[in-house]
Structure 1
Amino acid sequence: MRKSRGHRLQRLIKATSDQSSTRSRGIMFVFKDFTKHVKFAHRLDVEIDNIVFRLHYRLTFWFLMACCFIVSSKQFIKDHINCIADKSVSPVVDTFCFFSSTFTVVKYHNSSYLNGHLVAHPGVGPYSGEEDIVRHSYYQWVPFVLFLQGLMFYGPRKLWKHTDGGRLAAFVHRVRTSRITDDEDREINNVKIESLKSRSNKVEWFSKAYITMSRFRVSRDWARMLVVCEFLNALNLVFQMWLTNKFLQGQFLNLGLRWYDDDFDAIDLVFPKVTKCTFHKYGPTGTIQNHDTMCIMSLNILNEKIYVLLWFWFIGLFLVTSLSLVWRLLTYFLHRSFAFNRFVWGEISPGPAIYSQDIETLSRSLHFSDWLFLYYIGKNINGKMFRTAVSEIAKDINALRPKSKPLLQLDNSVEDDPKESDC
């Protein structure tokens, strides 16, 4: 009877272990399938966002996915936990303790006990059942949480890409030019070299299309959603910091500071390398026997490094994201400033300066959404083409209306709502 019960227990725990391995393999397959649709070192043909945006959906996403892969692989090779126990229970106690959670005794999380040789390891010592303990079971969920966090960092990118819908790329591809020849279009080594006349036609088309788009407010939704997605990145980052802190039982927010201060007790409380586990088993006469085991948590050596790095990365990302939002607010309030536009457009179109009259005309005429759309077009075409395009737009604006009227009132059939936001 006892032997039969023992076999059933071993089969049950083995089945649980196999199920864990299956879940780990599942993460690997989902990870491999998802990465087919996400490029890491791919250079964007048309940039529809900025470098801070890309820190969220590229570097952060790939860092979390890499950590998920490493942790899952370590679990798959089954060296995540090793428990010291009697030979009679040693074949099953590792799996049992991993899934039932281990614990440490709070009062032994003190370096004085270790320095006084009163305990063998921090948090591991005599336990009568009355002392306060801390249970550690989060490590079972680390790969799943990391994978979910990675997907959430990629979410705003998918939303923004869907909203843009190739709108910016359509403008950029139409006016982008690599080389110019004086007389006529040529093709050398399968590279088309356009004539000055072709470029002039492109610029003329671009100016008319841009003004038409502005009059019918096509860029309004585009600009709004870009700003919304930038703020979503910031909100998602704050949420991920809160979620990680909740996941680690409130120990994440100051984890990096404690690691930097070499706070031995605090770090080992969050990521204990040695823990305790109590395994219950029926004895020969049916009496429940308690097996007190000491478990080596090798996986926590890796978890500690991951979350310390994640803390520093989240803090750095929070700082640069905050600066990017400040920059976006500055562009909103200063987009009608002549000095601001001369500086910004000079940065994205190196070379001869844009004519002051053209900057003045556009500064007085453009709504923020139109200004932002033009700014991103300028980031994706060469400086000479951008300067020519700005000059053509300014010329068309001056030809279509008196200088005192705003751009969106050029067409009397499309009137601005005075209550509508400038964005």
Structure 2
Amino acid sequence: MSAIKYIGGLKAYLAAGECVNESSIFRLHYQFTVVLLIGASILLTAAEFFGLPINCITNLDQKNVINTYCWIHSTFTIQDYYLRERGSQVAEPGVGSPQGYDEEIEAKWRFHNYYQWVVFFLFFQAFLCYIPKFIWNTCEGGLMATIAKGLNPGLHREEEVTSRKKVIIDYIVKHIRMHNGYVFKYWFCELLSFVNIIGQLFLVDKFLGGEFLTYGPRVSSFLNILNEKVFITVWFWYVILGTLLGALILYRIALFTLPGLRPRAMHKHNKAVPIETVEAITNKTSIGDWWILYVLSTNIDPLVYRDIMTRLSKEIETANSNSPYNSAGLYSSSSV
């Protein structure tokens, strides 16, 4: 029951934080994937519920001894035996007693010596998946939580919310065009997540002796019962997550190179704000300011957000018209 208890404890890690400052796909990478890998590692130790981690075929009475031997040492499949009929000529594809022994015959054997390391390897994969989140937490420094604090009417008095709205508007106006580093650091962490998943596909392939990249279509040819279920799940999830992250990277590139997409994305995210207001702000701010306001909309009440955006639009326009620096204004339009 201890293994099940530990897996149940992982559910708390999946809970969303009070302040959301990243995309749902990014959270899938550092939350769900980490839980999947650690949970699988724990399950591999729970033989009383899910069977032995390795099951060697033998006619001897002391089967536990043989299983332990196979666990510590490497097992092997025979290349020619993948073509033989299952159930009559071989027990499983590639599995059977070798007929004769010499160097030429042994050259056709494929040894599988990763079994005893699977639990540790899965933990290592989970660690790799958390690295982008760790980097982002270090870079973000709680900025969004600080900005969004006190803007929920259900938890704070109206005068407190009004005061906080003024603070946020003053902050954005004062720090206009100073948030590009924030968004680029976050997008780098998303890119790092994509690189991590693709890199792990090849890392696991190396760990499994060159078998993982085509593991999904050929899963029936593998020996290990529980490892088979674990790695086929990991294979499909990595393919799905890699595709999602790849699409997300393309979307980020589009947002950077096509500024016209930004107001549409923000308006779709929170339709309480008129599209004209969103366009006015987006055209006078940088992509970093846009991202701060975009993420802010997911963390506060929609009506409060609409009020902030309306007042911010007027403040930026006023500051722009009063700017003494150039005729075009301090907050003139920019693609970045």
Q: Which amino acid aligns with 1:226?
A: Y
Q: How far off is 1:240 after superposition?
A: 0.8
- The answer to which structure has the higher strand fraction is 1
Q: Which residue of 1 aligns with 2:58?
A: 84
Distance apart, 1:359 and its partner CA: 3.0
SS at match of 1:40: helix
| 1:45 alignment partner, SS class | coil
- In our comparison, the structure showing a higher alpha carbon Rg is 1
Q: Distance in 2 between matches of 1:146 and 1:379?
A: 33
Change (3 A) 1:127 1:321: same
Amino acid aligned to 2:310: S
Tell me: CA distance 1:396–1:192, structure 2 relative to 1, closer, same or farther (3 Å): closer
Letter in 1 for 2:136: W
Cα deviation code 1:253-284 (max 9, x no counterpart): 1221234xxxxxxx32xx22xxxxxxxxxxxx
Which whole-Å deviations, capped at 9, do the CAs of 1:328-357 have from their partners, x for residues lacking one? 12221233x2xx444323223233x4262x
Q: Structure 2 stretches of 5 or more lacking a match?
A: 322-326
1:60 offset after TM fit, Å?
A: 0.8
What is the aligned partner in structure 1 of residue 97 from structure 2? 125
Measured after TM superposition, the shift of residue 48 of structure 1 is 0.8
Select which of 140, 150, 171 maps to 1:209: 171
Return the match for 1:380 from 271, 293, 299: 299
Identity fraction in percent: 24
**Residues in 1 aligned to 2:109 and 2:268: alpha-carbon distance in whole angstroms:** 59
Secondary structure at the aligned position of 1:103 is classed as strand
The letter for the 2-side match of 1:347 is K
Tell me whether 1:367 sits opposite 2:286 in the alignment. Answer: yes
Match of residue 45 from structure 1: 18
Deviation at 1:111, TM superposition (A): 2.6
CA distance in 1, matches of 2:18, 2:274: 25
Q: Which amino acid aligns with 1:208?
A: D
Identify the residue that residue 194 of structure 1 maps to in structure 2.
158
User: Deviations for 1:69-95, whole angstroms, at most 9, x for unmatched residues?
Assistant: 0112339999434563667x8785443
Specify whether residues 120 and 312 from structure 1 end up closer, same or farther in structure 2 by C-alpha distance, changes over 3 A only: closer
- The residue number in structure 2 matching 1:59 is 32
Displacement, 1:168? 0.8
Whether 2:167 is the aligned partner of 1:233: answer no
* Paired residues of 2:264 and 2:275 also in contact (CA < 8 A): no
What letter corresponds to residue 283 of structure 2 in structure 1?
Answer: R
Shift in Å, 1:98: 2.5
- CA RMSD, Structure 1 to Structure 2 (Å): 3.1
Structure 1 Cα separation of the partners of residues 162 and 32 of structure 2: 40
- The structure 2 residue matched to 1:354, chosen from 243, 262, 274, is 274
How many Å separate the matches in 2 of 1:94 and 1:341? 59
The residue that corresponds to 1:161 in the other structure is: 137
Counterpart AA for 1:220: N
Shift of 1:390: 1.5
Give the alignment's TM-score, normalised by structure 1: 0.68
How many residues of Structure 1 are paired with residues of Structure 2 in the alignment? Answer: 322
Partner of 2:123: 147
SS in 2 for 1:134: strand
Q: Is residue 105–residue 127 contact of structure 1 (8 Å, CA) maintained in 2?
A: no
2:324 corresponds to: none
Do the aligned residues in 1 keep the contact of 2:283 with 2:332 (CA within 8 Å)? Answer: no
Indicate which of 142, 159, 181 corresponds to 1:221.
181
